[in-house]
Amino acid sequence: MAWLVLIAAAVFEIAFALSLKPSDGFSRFWPTAGVLVFGVISVVLLSKTLDRLPVGTAYAVWTGLGSLGVVTLGVVLFGEQLSFARLACIALILVGVIGLRLTGAE
């Protein structure tokens, strides 16, 4: 169950990060509100996993999944460039997240 909550926390982290660009330096109300709401929900969900998962594992998976999601959606939604080097780095993050999940305790 803690892993599912951690995945939900990562989804909210992705929403948090993707809200930053349209907030236009926090000058637009609704995207700025999204940044705040999604960020708080993400951190609260992350904190709920720490009684079952090691903090280092939970934090690394949270940021790793968040990074993967933001890079992927940045390409899809914002037309960001995708190179072989970026794909290789994304793959390394994914391998790290999978490794932490396979070796992590619950």
| Crossing angle of helices 2-20 and 55-78, rounded to 10° | 40
User: What's the pLDDT score for residue 100?
Assistant: 85
Q: Tokens at residue 90, please?
A: 């994304």
| pLDDT tens-place string over residues 23-52 | 999 999 999 999 999 999 999 999 999 999
Task: For residue 34, give Cα distances in angstroms to 21, 38, 39, 88, 99.
Answer: 11, 6, 8, 31, 31
**Residue 1 banded pLDDT, cuts 50, 70, 90:** very high
Q: Tokens at residue 93, please?
A: 């993050």
| pLDDT tens-place string over residues 91-104 | 999 999 898 888 86
Instruction: List the helix and strand counts (H, then E) for the chain.
Output: 4, 0
By the 8 A CB rule, do 58 and 6 touch?
A: yes
